[in-house]
Chain A
Amino acid sequence: MQDEVRIGVYICHCGTNIAGVVDVDEVTEFAKTLPSVAVARNYKYSCSEPGQDTIKEDIKELNLNRVVVASCSPRMHERTFRRACSSAGLNPYLFEMANIREHCAWVTEDKQAATSKAKDLVKAAVRRVALQEPLEAREIPVNPNVLVVGGGIAGMQAALEIADGDHQVYLVEREPSIGGHMAQLDKTFPTLDCAACISTPKMSLVGSHPYIDLMSYSEVEEVSGHVGSFKVRVRKKARYIDVEPCTGCGECAKVCPVEVPSEFDLGMAQRKAIYRPFPQAVPNVFTIDKRGYPPCRVACPAGVNAQGYVALISQGKFKEALEDLRRTMPFAGVCGRVCTHPCETECERGQLDEPIAIRALKRFMADYEPETGQEVVPIEKTRGDRVAIIGSGPAGLACAYDLVREGYPVTVFEAAPKSGGMLRYGIPEYRLPNEILDSEIGYIEKLGVEIKTGSPIKELKDVFSQGYKAIFLGIGAGTSQKMGIPGEETQGVLHALDFLKKVNSGEKVELGQRVAVIGGGNAAIDAARTAKRVGAKEVVIVYRRSRTEMPAISSEVEEAEREGIKLHILATPVEVLTKDGQVTGIKCLRMQLGEPDASGRRRPIPIEGSTFEMRVDNLIIAIGQAVDRSMLASELDYTDRGIVSVDPVSLETNIKGAFAGGDMVSGPATVIEAIAAGKEAAISIDRYLRGDDLKEGRPTTMEKAKDVPKEGVEKKARVAIPLLETEKRDLSTEVELGFDEEMAVAEASRCLNCGLCSDCQLCVAACEAEAIDLEQKDEFVDIEVGSIIVATGFDTFDPSVISHYGYGCLDNVITSLQFERMANASGPTSGQILLKDGSQPESVAIIHCVGSRDKNYNPYCSQICCMHSLKHAHLIKEKANAEVYQMYIDIRCVGKGYEEFYERLADEGINFIRGKVARVTDQAISDDEKDKLIVVCEDTLLGNTIRVPVDMVILSTALQPRSDAEAVGRLFNISRSADGFFLEKHPKLDPVATMNDGIFVVGCAQAPKDIPQSVAQASAAAARALAMISKGRVELEPCISQVIDENCDGCAYCVDPCPFDAITLIEYMKEGTVKKTVESDPVKCRGCGVCQATCPKKGIVVLNFKTDQIAAMVDAILGVG
């Protein structure tokens, strides 16, 4: 470097842009007085050839080694002047620009102030440039691959332009198909050519192009790197269908029982849960829409897929429904009658009106089976290891059922004379008839399970010695708990289970006139209702808490009351009164409710001195059951709570190979919980016999479907379950009668399909190509590209927020996009313009600027609505020959052929009313308005407020930024303008680039625009990407961070704040001690300066933006030093 600093200062007039406000001569004279300034001149256009030549000549002739140009923004001409310096042999980084146009001339009319500020800026630039250092630009190679995000018309166009140049393109589209909004359109303005005719060829080309890797149903997750070398992680969402084998034949959709509103048809038609958005979709494959597990399934202890069979019932597929249930468990008839149905408690429909009657529907499937005939094919025993199940209650049978279907030979040992356990002996026949139980156990036997009744097991080792390799214990909790009060052992005191067992076995039980039942669970209710049926005249249930705390099924309690059973709540017996060894009554204490206990129910607290007596002949105690600890006591470990000790996950007992579940492990619980335990044990036994890890990946959790939409769902009461008249009720006749077919279908049709796909798996059977893979998971793909084109499109404005336009409340008020679907031959009405009642409209109003040019919503003009409104008017005329009214503020037809199109429509006889609509209403004030939609607006040209009665209203809704534009902006590190659309680098001269080099933005992601403009932008962005590829390298700014080793102490403050991940902490040994410092990656660094600002030690600086250089400017401006 030369010793003496010689600066040339050039003040630009920029025509009158600068010189009109800033006194350029005064600034020039001032510049001459500044230290080291060798020359100062002003010129009309410094950026012109002569302007540049002056600088070049001065550099050479006056030996300048620094240059300052005071003119416009560096964004405009920094490169111009750097080139000029460079060509004159001066390092271009020894040049500095002062912005006296945007920062001085354009921001004030005060000439003096502008001139004064211009001087300050020139002074600052002169001070700074003196301290600047020569730098060399860096170059890196460009990765020739390009990522295009968004497969609408803009994205497709960009992808094709680049791919046609034989460069690899990755096209990421989040929807199942490319095509974007254009695929939804009918005709396109102003030429009226069919949108599909011109876009599907592009779609198919994209789908088959050898240089395009189409990643549909995928989203960009992460972007790192910089221009020329981006690393991108893409999430390929599970579509549960293998794309390769799927032929798009559509057989799967035919059998799918779940219908949801079609997004593509904007809710005007239904689609299946397995779907292809539209027939010309690319790729031409189906996708299964899952929204997590339905709450009913998550709530079921056994994970029974209720949504699956409910959906199938709604479609009349009763047999398939039962098969769906049997994938999980065999007890449709049993659980359809006695299940406590936690599924119904969680049912989302309950938040809207009433939960689906899932239990009754389950029963319906079993009731209906005889109609179709049961076909049972015994399962082949493919496994050699024999399994013994001890106990034939619900747990044992569920375990046996799952194991036999895995191919194991299974034998069930039952001590009682008949199988079924508590189902047979603990539940009265009027709730669960024996033939239902027999039939379902029979089904399990037909599959190949051997049941040996009357076969008590004394010791497990005997079982093992008989050759069984694994054992499941499901013996239950069959011992009645005692109350521990005086007189409990008296004649006439019964225990509920013994009582029910005797009655259920057909034994005669004599009861007195008055019977009290103690307890509030299902056994108490069953005992009370049975006592009534056996002949007791008066039956009272005594329960210590209130009715809401009763654990019994509430409908059962209601039925008990209907049958004349009395409830005596908030009371507990303290003594059994006896006379001559026979019960005569009970002495009770009244209770009150305190704070909730561990069970969450409010704790009963005795009220002192509140005893009272009740005269009874019999007392039935139903306060709970316990496990008989004497069973297998020599072998099994029991817990302190008196239940069998098992591993909570695998259910393995202390004996290897022996597992236990159901009431004997949980204490008394429900049938469905026992079934769940049996199923878990079956998994363990299978793993055990295969030698696999018992616990890996268990317990599994199901992610519940969230945000189930309920808007627009009509409220509908649940179908009531028919009941037997009370006078006809006896010991064995069922009280609850099942649904008939019609009721079942009606009830099942209320299901909201929370999980979307119901997992019924009918599609799996229907797919000949075997393309369906319900186990598919999201996949991540990492790609590397040199540039990225963002073409993420727009959302349409939701007009329901403008309540006075009636969208969502009034029929036949639709949006412009909905109209496009209606007009489209592949749309919901096959191209006919129809009202909701199926008739054709005679008059239609098209309301412009809905959500556009409106301070309350979007202040900007959405650009395309005037034109598509005219097009809609044409289509209405053509297809329905209806009268059309356009309510507009200004008609904006700016584009080639657009004004001509306007003229054509005027010629077609469209009515134009200049005025923004104030209200759309169905409130008629005259006969002409009856049954019409009345559009109220001022015809501002007439100066009258008018009411226009029409049949249909089309709202020309605004185009808005995507709802996730902010997140997408962050992902790609690109900014947004005030309206929320992505910001281009320069609105006129660089409309497709962004402030993040190498990332381009095209189409409606940048601003609302029509198809020709989107396509033009896409081609422009493609050209920019191709230019980079063609050059093969990009120049990077040399003003990047540099670590000053002697200052950096490795505090690492700068590491985290660096937005480009360019800084790493390193440790090294120096003279025997560990030293720390940071390293900055010159390729990643963008010179933003965050590190410099963070560093407390001046250990990291940005070249040419060093602290002394910036301080010099600040001092100059503040007039210091």
Chain B
Amino acid sequence: MVFTNFLHPQKQEKVEITARLFPLGNFIALKLEIAPEWHIYWENPGDTGIKTSFSWELPDGWELSEPEFQYPSKFESDGLVSYGYEKEVLYLFRLKIPDGKVLKETLEIKVTTDWLACKEICVPGESKAVLEVTPEIRQLLKKENSFDPVNEKFPQNGDNIGMTGLVLENSIIIGIERKQLPDTDYSKIEFFPMEQGVFSTIVPPRISVDDNKIIMELALDPMHTKIPDTINALFYNETGWGTSGNHKAIKKSIKLTNQE
């Protein structure tokens, strides 16, 4: 295919996003620092944008998990809603190093991060980072410690919180059991679906709270075709969920049932 540049030359916007890798427990952490006023996108970018992706070069036999994502912020413009990050963001990847002979040399981990940065306009780009893994760092990374991403921006698993989902014609109703939850304000919970295109991004959830349940009505995207059997989502509550470290976001898989 021949590529030609027919479009008129434009004023080229430059976006600075720096990447840095460092060990954190038995995770590799990738930190992106994003130029002021710009944002990049979460796993589900929302109405517009593209999720940030990572290409790794690892020593033979080394493996990295999928990233743990911090909870995102919402960006609304002209009636379109996106989910992403501004200023800085940290991604955590669990590292698995094979057992074997003890190596004395320093190895390298390289990553290329492809991103789309937007404010009023969008600019695609990439950032590269390298981590030199000395034998000392390698020993630290091999320890199967139970590092908990204590950073409050990482969602905690909400498996101990009972939730149900009921599918209606144009909405889904999520019921959250309150008996395990502390007495706090749940009237402003924000919902971040991991699946794209199922829920309306622009219609805010309607929330009602009583002594037993928190009920959230979530409008479906008018253009959706199929409702999945299970939805995966983050629930953000400014006043927390009473989990250890009082994380503000929990992640949860919810099996859906249909109205009889």
- A and B pair up: no
- Partner-A contacts on B (CB < 8 A): none
